Amino acid sequence: MSSYENYTQKSRNYDKTREPVGTEISVGCFAHAPVPLDQMVVLDAGCGTGNYSQAMLGYVGRIEAVDMNPGMLEVAAQKLAGARDEGRISFQSAQIDELPFEDEHFDGVMINQVLHHLPDDAPKGFPVHRRVFAEFARVLKPGGVLVVNTCSQEQLRHGYWHYSLIPEAADALRARYVPLDELAEILIDSGFAYRGRFAPVDAAIQGESYFDPRGPLTKEWRDGDSVWSLVAEDRLNRALSRIQNLDERGELEAYMARNDALRPQIGQATILFASRE
Ligand SMILES: C[S@@+](CC[C@H](N)C(=O)[O-])C[C@H]1O[C@@H](n2cnc3c(N)ncnc32)[C@H](O)[C@@H]1O
């Protein structure tokens, strides 16, 4: 289970607002693998409802998708039933730090917006992250490509307008993300050559719905960002009242714009590119 989010409950609403942001960057990274892109066998680690798999199927040969949550896997398997019937994708229930694949099985691995769900311990040097990346190094062929789609501390501070409504939860979420320089070091320690990082600045993880200033008022919208699972009930009520008050005063759009001012320059997600030594 994610260490704080109930994805069995959220799986039905997840796709209503989520977009596979950064796919084109990941495709560019995968193109550096020793095999041609359209022949690559790729692991989608923590596939969720399969949004990134769906987008990536247009480029790579075959995908093996794993997730530990049965609700998310069920949505993914239904959505991609056609590709599964054609043998282009398979789904398995698995933990990403204990993968059911033999050594050197994959040409590429992608992990999209999953790492912050790991139950980890910063003072001990993020041992769970280290286990996950050791597992990725094990299942990748030499030269195989790893793409890690995550968020920088700056993106979490300034890339999500609604986090200003729920500052305690935003702080708690940020503490779950390994700072990117440290993440790059963990990759190197795990047997990867670190090759750079890229941020898609022109896309929002919740797509067009991100720009709905009244979005947080509905549970469906909130289900698209796990930060809301870190909000205490009294804080949630306070945030919702604040939106309503701003709206009544005709100031809601301006509030959103003010708190969204930096996002177009920094984006919401960063893709780290590494290859197995
Ligand atoms: C925010 S969702 C991202 C889903 C998908 N990658 C996407 O970006 O649309 C996080 C997913 O990671 C899965 N997950 C979290 N920890 C995991 C673990 N240790 N092993 C396997 N899956 C995990 C959750 O079940 C959930 O489906």
110: domain CATH number? 3.40.50.150
Cβ partners under 8 Å of residue 148, min gap 6: 110, 111, 115, 183, 187, 271, 272, 274
How much distance in Å is there from the Cα of 103 to the middle of ligand 1? 22
Q: With respect to residue 216, please indicate whether it lies within any of the assigned structural domains.
A: yes
Identify whether 192 is part of a domain.
Answer: yes
Q: Does residue 2 fall inside a structural domain?
A: no
When the pLDDT of each residue in the chain is averaged and rounded to a whole number, the result is 96
Confidence of residue 10 (pLDDT cuts 50, 70, 90): confident
Domain that residue 32 falls in: 7-276
Residue 118, in any domain of the structure: yes
Q: What are phi and psi of 3, to 5 degrees?
A: -75, -5
Residue 149 in domain: yes
Q: What is the pLDDT of residues 142-198, one digit of tens each?
A: 999 999 999 999 999 999 999 999 999 999 999 999 999 999 999 999 999 999 999
Please indicate whether residue 6, judged by its CB atom, sits closer than 6 Å to ligand 1.
no
Whether 46 is in the pocket of ligand 1, judged by its Cβ within 6 Å, is yes
Q: What is the DSSP letter of 3?
A: S
Contact status, residue 60 vs residue 29, Cβ threshold 8 Å: no
- Of 121, 175, 128, 183, the closest CA to residue 150 belongs to 183
245 belongs to a structural domain: yes
Output the CA 238–ligand 1 centroid distance in Å. Answer: 29
Ligand 1 contact, 73 CB (< 6 A): no
Give the pLDDT mean for 235-260.
98
**Ligand 1: centre distance to CA 92 (Å):** 13
pLDDT tens, residue by residue, 83-110: 999 999 999 999 999 999 999 999 999 9
Q: Is ligand 1 within 6 A of the CB of residue 224?
A: no
**Model confidence pLDDT, tens digit, residues 243-253:** 999 999 999 99
pLDDT for 94: 98
SS3 of the chain: helix, strand, coil, percent, to 5: 50, 20, 35
Say what the pTM is: 0.96
Looking at residue 52, what is its pLDDT?
A: 98
pLDDT for residue 1 is more than 70? no
**Closest of 188, 81, 55, 83 to residue 129, by C-alpha:** 188
Question: In total, how many domains does the chain have?
Answer: 1
Atom number of ligand 1 nearest to Cα 132: 19
Confidence of residue 45 (pLDDT cuts 50, 70, 90): very high
Q: What is the structure's pLDDT at 6?
A: 84
The closest-lying atom of ligand 1 relative to the alpha carbon of residue 44 is 6
Q: Is 69 close to ligand 1, i.e. is its CB under 6 Å away?
A: yes
Residue 202 lies in a domain: yes
Tell me which residue of 150, 130, 149 sits closest to 191, measured CA to CA.
130
pLDDT of residue 185: 98
Q: Ligand 1: does its nearest atom lie under 6 Å from the Cβ of 53?
A: no
What residues contact 69, with CB distance under 8 A and at least 6 apart? 1, 2, 7, 8, 11, 48
147 lines ligand 1 (CB under 6 A): no
Q: Give 193's DSSP letter.
A: E
- Residue 139: inside a domain: yes
